[in-house]
Amino acid sequence: MGNVPSQVADITVEWFNEALDGRLGRVTELRAERLGEGVGILGELARVHLTYETGHSGPSTLIAKCQSPLPENQFLSRMMGFYLREVNFYREVATQLSVRVPHPYHADCGEEGLPFVLLIEDIAGARCPDQLAGISHDDASRIIDTVARLHAPFWDSPRLAEMSWLPPMNNPLYQAGQGMALERFPAFADRFGERIGPEMMSVIERACNHYVDMLHHVAGQRHLTFTHTDCRAENYLFGGSAGPDTVTMIDFQLSTKHFGPWDVANLLGGSLTPEVRRGCEAELIEQYHRTVVELGVGDYSLEQCWHDYRMSLLQMCTSSVIVSDLQGGNDRGADLLEQLFLRPIIAATDHRVGELLGEFC
């Protein structure tokens, strides 16, 4: 591993030319423009504007991503292997997918994932949905089609075992999340208990106490695939330089081997307002199931899909507790994190996920 910049401000002309080593034209100037508020919770994001030496050419802009400047977020990302995972995704998988992802120019990190740097394609002019406001049924439908096309080729595939860096849900780092959940549950209960209600808080507490059992239960299922695992609306770009009808998937720090419906639950539970979700949820789950079956997934019933969706919502309840001390970095980031914590729990309450505790407790 070479020298890896800790922050976007450390990306210099000299470092850039050495790191790219002729894969793009030689750069004489670069200017980093920090991206908007409340994005890049686990990492620092910037659009880098490039000026090339006479006779050289390349993209006028690209996206740079480095570790979060916040120590709490760095600690969580190192412990959970998030940065290391995304670097390996862009090195090994990104160019082999049928779904659209940004083209990687450079990906590197330190031995434990810190520091890390990505230089990837800028999807110029793309529309990013507003997750805080809640996305539309149509946007959700287009994202569902995209994740179904990601899942189907990897469903029960031996290719998953070849990705040694892609963890199952019961990997040791995630098992350590049980201790983190139990440590953070009292503060979580103080902060959100009144809005969640005592019955659901009891379900969440029990799930936290049996989180390792839940992870082993999930990882033992045979219908697993490559999941995005951070399937929130702002990790999908619509249109722009990728093409007017194209949805581009970004941010692979959380990718795992998991149920495909985890991504569906992650999207519908976290990126739609509860009112919109309740109106279109059944239709979108049926769409997802129909699409993966059409793409070749066999022996997977709609009933099993619904079960996996509910189990994913139950797991998200504990996940919300584990990450509840993440810092948003600004007011919008803080509001976004709060919605990421609460909306899936509202969905889990709607679907009586406490009924599933007996499967692993």
Backbone torsion region of residue 67, taken as left when φ is above 0, otherwise alpha when ψ lies between -120 and 50, otherwise beta? beta
Reported as a single tens digit per residue, the pLDDT across 207-259 is 999 999 999 999 999 899 999 999 999 899 999 999 999 999 999 989 999 99
Q: Which residues contact residue 294 at a Cβ distance below 8 angstroms, ignoring those fewer than 6 apart?
A: none
Task: Let me know: does 122 contact 24? Beta carbons within 8 Å.
Answer: no
Is this structure's pTM higher than 0.95? no
Q: What is the mean pLDDT of the chain?
A: 92
The pLDDT value given to residue 156:
95
Fold type of domain 8-121: Phosphorylase Kinase; domain 1 (3.30.200)
Host H or E run for residue 269: helix 260-271
CATH for 137-359?
A: 3.90.1200
pLDDT in tens, 82-112: 888 999 999 999 988 999 999 999 999 988 7
Maximum CA pair distance of the chain?
67
Omega into 71 within 30° of 0, i.e. cis?
Answer: no
pLDDT of 340 over the 90 cut: no
Q: With left for phi above 0 and alpha for psi between -120 and 50, is residue 14 left, alpha or beta? A: alpha
**pLDDT tens column, 249-258:** 999 989 999 9
The helix (H) or strand (E) run that includes residue 238 is: strand 236-238
Residue spans per domain, the chain: 8-121, 137-359
Contact 221, 259 (CB under 8 A): yes
Which own/partner contact pairs does 76-79 have at CB distance under 8 Å and 24+ positions apart?
76/42, 76/323, 76/326, 77/42, 77/43, 77/113, 77/114, 77/253, 78/112, 78/113, 78/114, 79/173, 79/176
Q: Are 310 and 353 in contact (CB under 8 A)?
A: yes
**In terms of DSSP bridges, do strands 116-121 and 61-67 run parallel, antiparallel, or are they unpaired?**
antiparallel
Q: How far, in whole angstroms, is CA 62 from its chain's centroid? A: 20
